[in-house]
């Protein structure tokens, strides 16, 4: 055989169902969250790139490739990152489509050093993603009901059927990891404030069937976040370790917590009695916002116009734009 014959035979062998290589696996991950919360840094660390992170403009894309074993074809992970905090959430519909919904996951990065922005950021971004995914599922139910059923079934799999909270939670429609960033700053907070934030994020993660991890500049904590994201992006083994001590960084893979372990919202029974809430999530929100009054959604949306930023200046375009404005 010539070298070309050998190469062709090898490619065919890898591509065949029984070949050693198997099919290339493609996954997509959308990273959203707090403005300047460290999303770009987290993605670069996952891809083992040593670049200096730049501010994200609108929606940015990159990808990584990894082989599951020696001589196997490399799997591909598509990483999308939404910049601007909550101000550009309409762009969520660009990366998540009916074609890739089965292999899509979300990473929500929340800045622990700004607890007054935390709930509003989380609520608005997750609601926007959930609304968009539900629209896709409604379409799929008409065009491809098997896929819609598979996604809904997988959604319930974040908890085992014998888990005591199986009927009490409301799993997110696609796999979700919540990352609390800037733990090094958060660690300096008053212990009761830390406890309120930690318990609340444990409840949210458990309620949505998500994994939760706190991270900072520390290499050990970054590695823990990487383990969870690599599980979503490349199908790596998920860590079985759990850390629920509020005086330490939390690390709780999906399905490894329970409402009985989390306990009630951190406030007095008399206060809980006065709060009118229709759902457990609403009750936790009221308790959390009593300690950390929220910034309004519009404050969080205020974002600098990239068209006015000198680093994107283009003389011809700017002249035409000035004419148009005039």
Q: Which residue has the higher pLDDT, 169 or 31?
A: 31
First to last CA, the chain: 71
Query: If you average pLDDT over residues 243-254, what whole number do you get?
Result: 86
For 248, which DSSP code? S
pTM: 0.79
Query: If you average pLDDT over residues 161-170, what whole number do you get?
Result: 80
Strand ranges in the chain using DSSP code E only, listed in sequence order: 26-33, 59-67, 74-82, 104-111, 176-181, 211-214, 251-252
The answer to whether 112 and 183 are in contact (CB under 8 A) is yes
Q: Which residue has the higher pLDDT, 218 or 123?
A: 123
> Is the per-residue pLDDT at 303 higher than 60?
no
Query: Predicted confidence band at 17 (pLDDT cuts at 50, 70, 90)?
Result: very low
How do 176-181 and 104-111 pair as beta strands? parallel
Predicted confidence at residue 271, as pLDDT, reads: 67
Mean model confidence pLDDT for the chain = 83
The superfamily CATH assigns to domain 24-260 is P-loop containing nucleotide triphosphate hydrolases (3.40.50.300)
> Is the per-residue pLDDT at 19 higher than 60?
no
Interatomic CA distance for residues 196 and 88, integer angstroms: 29
Q: Could you give the 3-state DSSP secondary structure of residue 119?
A: helix
CB-neighbour burial class of residue 3 (10 A; exposed 0-12, middle 13-18, buried 19+) = exposed
Q: Which residue has the higher pLDDT, 14 or 25?
A: 25
Interatomic CA distance for residues 78 and 105, integer angstroms: 10
The answer to whether 205 and 211 are in contact (CB under 8 A) is yes
Query: Predicted confidence band at 272 (pLDDT cuts at 50, 70, 90)?
Result: low
CA angle at 261 for the pair 259 and 267, rounded to the nearest 5°: 75
Query: If you average pLDDT over residues 227-252, what whole number do you get?
Result: 83
Predicted confidence at residue 203, as pLDDT, reads: 93
- Residues of the chain with pLDDT > 90, as a percent, come to 17
Both tokens of 20, joined, read 């050693």
Q: Could you give the 3-state DSSP secondary structure of residue 62?
A: strand
The answer to whether 151 and 184 are in contact (CB under 8 A) is no
Q: Domain-by-domain residue ranges, the chain?
A: 24-260
């Amino acid at each position: 055989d010539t070298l070309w014959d050998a190469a062709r035979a090898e490619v065919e062998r890898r591509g065949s169902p029984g070949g050693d290589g198997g099919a290339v696996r493609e996954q997509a991950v959308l990273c959203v969250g707090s403005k300047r919360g460290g999303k770009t840094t987290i993605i670069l660390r996952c891809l083992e790139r040593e670049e200096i992170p730049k501010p994200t403009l609108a929606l940015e894309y990159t990808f990584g490739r990894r082989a599951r074993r020696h001589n196997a074809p490399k799997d591909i992970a598509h990483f999308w990152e939404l910049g601007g905090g909550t101000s550009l959430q309409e762009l969520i519909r660009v990366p998540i489509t009916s074609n890739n919904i089965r292999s899509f996951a979300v990473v929500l990065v929340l800045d622990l050093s700004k607890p007054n922005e935390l709930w509003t950021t989380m609520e608005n971004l997750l609601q926007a993603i959930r609304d968009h995914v539900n629209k896709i599922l409604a379409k799929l139910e008409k065009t491809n009901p098997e896929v819609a059923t598979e996604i809904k079934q997988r959604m319930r799999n974040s908890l085992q059927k014998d888990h005591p909270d199986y009927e009490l939670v409301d799993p997110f429609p696609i796999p979700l990891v919540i990352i609390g960033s800037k733990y090094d700053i958060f660690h300096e907070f008053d212990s009761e404030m830390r406890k309120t934030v930690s318990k609340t994020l444990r409840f949210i993660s458990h309620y949505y069937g998500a994994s939760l991890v706190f991270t900072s500049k520390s290499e050990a904590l970054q590695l823990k976040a990487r383990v969870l994201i690599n599980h979503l992006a490349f199908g790596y083994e998920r860590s079985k370790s759990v850390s629920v001590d509020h005086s330490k960084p939390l690390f709780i893979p999906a399905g490894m917590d329970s409402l009985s372990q989390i306990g009630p919202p951190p406030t007095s029974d008399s206060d809980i009695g006065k709060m009118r809430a229709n759902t457990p999530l609403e009750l936790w929100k009221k308790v959390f916002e009593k300690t950390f009054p929220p910034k309004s959604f519009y404050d969080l949306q205020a974002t600098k116009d990239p068209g006015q930023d000198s680093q994107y200046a283009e003389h011809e375009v700017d002249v035409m734009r000035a004419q148009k404005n005039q």
